[in-house]
Amino acid sequence: MRIKFFLIAFLTSVIGFSQSVNDYKAVIVPLKYDFLKTENQYRLSTMTKANLLKAGFQAFYANEQLPAGFADRCDLLYVDVKRDSGFLITKLYLEFRDCYGKVIYTSQVGRSKEKEYESAYRESLELAFVSINALNYKYNGKTANSTNTATSAPVTSQTLAATAIVPAPVADMTDPNLLYAQPTENGYQLIDKTPKVVMKLLKTSRPDSFIAIKDGIQGSLNAKDNQWFFEYYKNDQLVSEKVVVKF
């Protein structure tokens, strides 16, 4: 009876999550995970992308030029591989978040008893993908359809100009929490006076919005009312933190 209950619960969760991930066109894969020292160490980013493609997703590295039709960052999911603590066992799982940092789906935990890091990580990641393959992902066009409906009104050169011109928030140079933006290949890194990297930003199709990563939390940095705000989800609640940035 107990086994039957767990099987029903598992199948229900798979169906529920499948409906969620199907709302997104593609997945963005980072070049580096927090538990690794270098980009694509042990080729885990390569392995992640390859397995996502195998599972039916469209997947792109974070530094790739996205093709036409993928400009809206909220049409995309952002995957991360997490390491769980375990004695003599390597545990990895994948976490999919939306453009605001809200968790959409978490995979099962893949486990390995291999002693070498590379073998252990690769085996764990492969096993974590078993639950992702079970989703039978297929994009349902939901996000794209709602976007098309919202933008069905005629677009003129005046409206395009209005949306393109976004006043940049003016930084208060006397603020003790002031951060300085340093350009990177795909966006910026924000540093304090130490200097210490506090936040990483990835460019989107909008000049007033960035994908933001701070202390392992992924969200977005948005311009509102002449100020910048770091927004992310915590315990299913939207958190908005003011950030003072000098670009």
Q: What is residue 167's predicted lDDT score, i.e. its pLDDT? A: 59
Tell me what pLDDT residue 225 has.
Answer: 86
User: pLDDT value at position 68?
Assistant: 86
Would you state the pLDDT for residue 143?
56
> Distance between CA 187 and CA 30 in Å, rounded?
14
Residue whose entry in the numeric block shows the structure tokens 């392992």 = 216
Domain 2-144 has CATH 3.30.160: yes
Instruction: Give DSSP secondary structure letters for 55-73.
Output: TT-EEEETTSPPPTT---G
Q: How would you write the pLDDT of the chain (247 residues) with one tens digit per residue?
A: 444 444 444 444 444 443 489 999 999 999 899 999 999 999 999 999 999 999 999 999 988 888 888 888 889 999 999 998 878 899 999 999 988 888 899 999 999 999 999 999 999 999 999 999 999 999 998 754 344 333 434 434 343 333 444 457 888 888 888 999 888 888 899 998 888 899 999 988 788 899 999 998 999 999 998 899 999 988 888 999 999 998 8
Kindly report the pTM of this predicted structure: 0.60
What are the sequence ranges of the domains in the chain?
2-144, 164-246
Tokens of 140: 């349902």
Diameter over CA atoms, the chain: 65
Q: With helix as H, strand as E and coil as C, how does 4-68 read?
A: HHHHHHHHHHHHHHHHHHCCCCEEEECCCCCCCCCCCHHHHHHHHHHHHHHCCCEEEECCCCCCC
Rg (CA), the chain: 20
Report the alpha-carbon distance of residue 130 to residue 29 in Å, rounded: 18
